[in-house]
């Protein structure tokens, strides 16, 4: 049996094809049935704009922005505000209201972070047919939107607690408003590539509506899907703090709306408001380690309840291609984890400089010098622009005593690499202290 087409999606498709009346004939009765259906309300308002009643449309869209914010969907609220701006409306007051609700110091913010909003639910509603003439479609849709406005007013008076938005809720209201002003609303089509693997990143994105898939493409051209991201998800944030190459492709699964923050625009913004820069760095640092915990064999065993504490212990280090991170024969400065980019491990043996390994995202180095308390036995060089997380030598001792999982993971990697290094160098090392690792 063929799956029925969502009424919301059908109305939005009609709207994209410039059939505003057809869209109203679907969402009008949906709003009559459920005035709290914000998706139907938004489609109705946009259809009204296309028909030519811009004043009514902008008034309703402004109310929808606040209703979305009260309905715990602030990212889509921001995207809708930017949509109003693209239609010629003034959104300064709306953004000020959003910053008061979701910015630093809001009395309504709760500790838990933003969760994906629920998908709009369709109901068995019959669209208005030919028996409803064109003029009545407009008047009935306007009445239905007025009912939706009343429902949103009731919701706002409840003043329910609101979720913490990563990045935004750490900003003072004024900085919140400046950050939103620097972002652009970006609609993308189904299957459209948003980020290409292997290029230098120049922007960060937030999914406001729809979904995207993150994929890695091997040298042989094989695609492996790594994750699917829905509303509220951030991606591409590494571009804000480093010039590393994108390690994956991101494309839209369906028609999707994104908020895009260009690196160049944010750099200008930080010059005017240094506080935003501090928050951006803290946000990206936390995101880096959160992502790395999921893929690193050293960090993955750490219990989820302890991960926030662990995140605070790591520093960040960004290197350009060709930079020497650790030099053979010197004391290792700490434990390093590759977040993005890559490094090359080489060892000088006699007059030869032998390539030992190439390390990529999720890989660890520097553990041998720390564990064995000996000089580094190899040189590590950034093979491309690379972002690293690092535990200093002193911090490593403290962390491994509190998180023994990391110590075990480091030893496990050391043993595994011993076999590989022996094969590469053709030497029979007697114990782990003779590893090529640093």
pLDDT at residue number 176: 97
pLDDT tens per residue, range 279-289: 888 888 888 77
- The least confident of 23-37, 177-191, 391-405 is 391-405
pLDDT at 432 over 60: no
> Closest Cα to residue 412, out of 353, 347, 367?
367
Query: How many C-beta neighbours within 10 Å does residue 297 have?
Result: 14
Looking from the CA of 152 toward its CB, the CA atoms found within 13 Å total 25
Query: Helix, strand, coil proportions of the chain in percent (round to 5)?
Result: 45, 20, 30
Percent of the chain whose pLDDT exceeds 70: 92
Helix (H, G, I), strand (E, B) or coil at 228: strand
Which residue ranges make up each domain of the chain? 7-181, 184-264, 306-434
> CA-CA distances (angstroms) from residue 112 to 115, 162, 266?
8, 9, 27
State both tokens at 159: 């003043």
pLDDT at 15 over 70: yes
Domains 184-264 and 306-434 share a fold: yes
**pTM > 0.85:** no
Whole-number Å distance between alpha carbons of 396 and 315: 12
* 241 dihedral zone (left: phi>0; alpha: psi -120 to 50; beta): alpha
Whole-number Å distance between alpha carbons of 188 and 34: 29
Strands 109-113 and 162-164: parallel
Tell me which residue has tokens 């501090």.
278
**The listed CATH number (2.60.20.30, 3.40.50.2300, 2.60.120.10, 2.120.10.80) that belongs to domain 184-264:** 2.60.120.10
pLDDT at residue number 419: 56
Q: Which fold has domain 306-434?
A: Jelly Rolls (2.60.120)
pLDDT at residue number 408: 77
pLDDT tens per residue, range 124-160: 789 999 999 998 999 999 999 999 999 999 989 989 9
pLDDT at residue number 260: 98
Burial of residue 19 (number of CB atoms within 10 Å: 0-12, 13-18, 19+): middle
Mean pLDDT of 206-228: 92
pLDDT at 436 over 60: no
CA 323 distance to own-chain centroid = 28
Mean pLDDT of 390-406: 85
Which one is predicted more confidently, 277 or 3? 277
pLDDT at residue number 133: 93
* 198 dihedral zone (left: phi>0; alpha: psi -120 to 50; beta): left
Helix (H, G, I), strand (E, B) or coil at 220: coil
DSSP for residue 316: E
pLDDT at residue number 430: 34
pLDDT tens per residue, range 80-133: 999 999 999 999 999 999 999 999 999 999 987 777 787 777 677 899 999 999
pLDDT tens per residue, range 31-47: 999 999 999 999 999 99
Burial of residue 266 (number of CB atoms within 10 Å: 0-12, 13-18, 19+): buried
* 232 dihedral zone (left: phi>0; alpha: psi -120 to 50; beta): left
The pLDDT-based confidence of 405 (bands split at 50, 70, 90) is confident
């Amino acid at each position: 049996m063929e799956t029925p087409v969502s009424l919301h999606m059908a109305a939005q498709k009609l709207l994209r094809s410039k059939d505003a009346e057809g869209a109203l004939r679907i969402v009008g009765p949906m709003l009559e049935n459920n005035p709290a259906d914000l998706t139907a309300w938004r489609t109705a308002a946009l259809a009204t704009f296309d028909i030519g009643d811009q004043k009514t449309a902008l008034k309703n869209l402004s109310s929808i922005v606040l209703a979305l914010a009260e309905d715990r969907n602030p990212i889509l609220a921001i995207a809708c505000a930017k949509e109003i701006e693209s239609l010629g409306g003034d959104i300064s007051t709306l953004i000020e209201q959003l910053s008061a609700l979701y910015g630093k110091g809001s009395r309504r913010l709760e500790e838990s972070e933003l969760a994906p909003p629920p998908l709009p639910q369709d109901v068995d509603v019959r669209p208005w047919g030919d028996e409803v003439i064109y003029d009545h479609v407009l008047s009935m849709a306007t009445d239905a939107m007025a009912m939706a406005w009343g429902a949103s007013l009731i919701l706002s008076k409840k003043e329910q607690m609101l979720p913490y938005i990563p990045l935004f809720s750490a900003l003072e209201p004024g900085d919140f408003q400046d950050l939103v002003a620097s972002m652009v609303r970006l609609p993308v089509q189904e299957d459209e590539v948003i980020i290409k693997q292997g290029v230098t990143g120049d922007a960060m994105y937030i999914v406001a509506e729809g979904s995207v898939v993150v994929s890695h493409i091997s040298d042989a051209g094989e695609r492996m899907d790594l994750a699917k991201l829905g509303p509220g998800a951030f991606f591409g944030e590494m571009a804000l703090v480093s010039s590393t190459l994108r390690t994956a492709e991101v494309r839209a699964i369906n028609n999707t709306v994104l908020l895009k923050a260009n690196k160049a625009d944010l750099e200008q913004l930080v010059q005017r408001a240094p506080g935003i820069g501090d928050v951006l760095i803290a946000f990206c640092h936390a995101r880096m380690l959160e992502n790395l915990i999921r893929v690193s064999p050293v960090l993955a065993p750490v219990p989820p309840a302890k991960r926030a504490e662990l995140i605070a212990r790591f520093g960040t280090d960004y290197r350009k291609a060709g930079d020497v991170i650790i030099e053979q024969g010197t004391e290792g400065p700490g434990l390093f984890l590759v977040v993005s980019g890559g490094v090359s491990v080489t060892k000088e043996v006699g007059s030869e400089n032998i390539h030992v390994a190439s390390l990529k995202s999720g890989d660890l180095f520097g553990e041998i010098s720390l564990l064995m308390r000996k000089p580094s036995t190899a040189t590590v060089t950034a093979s491309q622009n690379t972002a690293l997380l690092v535990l200093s030598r002193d911090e490593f001792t403290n962390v491994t005593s509190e998180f023994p999982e990391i110590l075990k993971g480091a030893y496990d990697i050391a043993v595994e690499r011993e076999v590989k290094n022996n094969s590469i160098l053709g030497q029979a090392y007697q114990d782990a202290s003779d590893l090529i690792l640093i």
